[in-house]
Amino acid sequence: MGLDEHLQASILTGLLDKLKGASHYINDRSNSNSQVTRTLICRTAIKKEHLDLPTLLNHNVPNISLEGKLPDATHVVVGTAYGAEAYCVLAQDVKDEDEDAREEAVEFLAKVLSKMENALEEKQDRAEFKEQCDKEEKKLISQVKCCVYADLQTQAAKPFANAIYSMLTSTA
């Protein structure tokens, strides 16, 4: 997810307990050894903004001073990136003891995700994606569980989520 060590530690220790949007992916766990999962990760950056701290400090800006007592802050934010992330988790049930079935499921999910990734990159519509799959694949895809974690409040992630839904429902 592109989390730095500080944010990872904050989440693991419970300091951040209200996750929203795509960050719910952190809590995704496969049900057991009877399930194989694969994840497609999509990221988009709309814009990045940075503060030029030396320039900012050289101008007479109120409330910023390195003279005298330093503020109690431990971090200074000097930039931010605007965008969205989305995670599409595909899961397929397998029998615990059947290692061959597990390997087949891993390969199948990887193949489906590869086709989905290509379809997203090429901006394929529902019909074009459907043409990529043979009859057996369509049948297997209909049995795959899908969970999408996305920053849907942002305009950047909506096309991704809509495309995933369209792809997975088009094969039936």
Question: What is the secondary structure of 98-125 as a DSSP string?
Answer: -HHHHHHHHHHHHHHHHHHHHHHHTT--
For residue range 41-68, list pLDDT tens digits in order.
Answer: 887 777 888 877 776 667 655 565 556 5
What is the model's pLDDT at position 32?
67
User: For the chain, what is the total number of helices (H) and then of strands (E)?
Assistant: 6, 3
Task: Report the distance separating Cα 91 and Cα 35, nearest Å.
Answer: 6
78-106 pLDDT, tens digit per residue, is 788 777 778 888 888 888 778 888 889 88
The Cα–Cα gap between 136 and 122 comes to 24
In which residue are the tokens 């390969």 written? Answer: 107
Q: Which of 118, 91, 108, 114 is nearest to 31 (CA)?
A: 91
Give the CA angle between residues 125, 129, 132 to the nearest 5°: 150
> End-to-end distance of the chain based on CA atoms, in angstroms?
31
At residue 147, does pLDDT exceed 70? yes
Q: Give residue 107's pLDDT.
A: 92
Q: What is the pTM of this model?
A: 0.67
